[in-house]
Amino acid sequence: MPEEVRQLLGLVIRLLEIAGAGALILGFLVATIHCVRRYRREGGKPAIARYRQALGRTVLIGLEVLVAATIIKTITLDPTLRSVGFLAITVVIRTVLSWTTVLEIYGRWPWQKAPDPEQT
């Protein structure tokens, strides 16, 4: 692979990593601000419930971007057995976190159907 392409891919990967970290930080800040405002209007219980949901969504988005950066890095710049193993562990951790976060947010596993609102 030409050096210019490697440098460009390295830059793209770095930008994705920054974007993933930025999404986590920005999502945390926005969720916290909304939580404080909601707490003042509605009280603690509804504010905390919405806050947890917002943080869960933030984590999911940030993880998706960071995993994308790791995948690109592994398959293009560093296709060694060690990096593939690291990628596999990262994907497993991301999957478990995603499942548990969906359970926390929606009260069901990702593979379960959403309850029909007309039947409740």
78-120: pLDDT as tens digits: 888 998 898 899 889 888 888 888 887 778 887 888 777 776 5
Q: What is the pLDDT averaged over residues 17-34?
A: 96
DSSP label of 113: P
**Structure pTM?**
0.76
Note the helical H segments in 43-107.
Answer: 44-72, 81-106
Give the side-chain half-sphere CA count within 13 A for 17. 10
CA distances (Å), 27 to each of 11, 24, 35, 97, 118, in order?
A: 24, 5, 12, 17, 32
Q: pLDDT tens digit string along 2-15?
A: 889 989 999 999 99
**83 within 8 A of 74, measured Cβ to Cβ:** yes
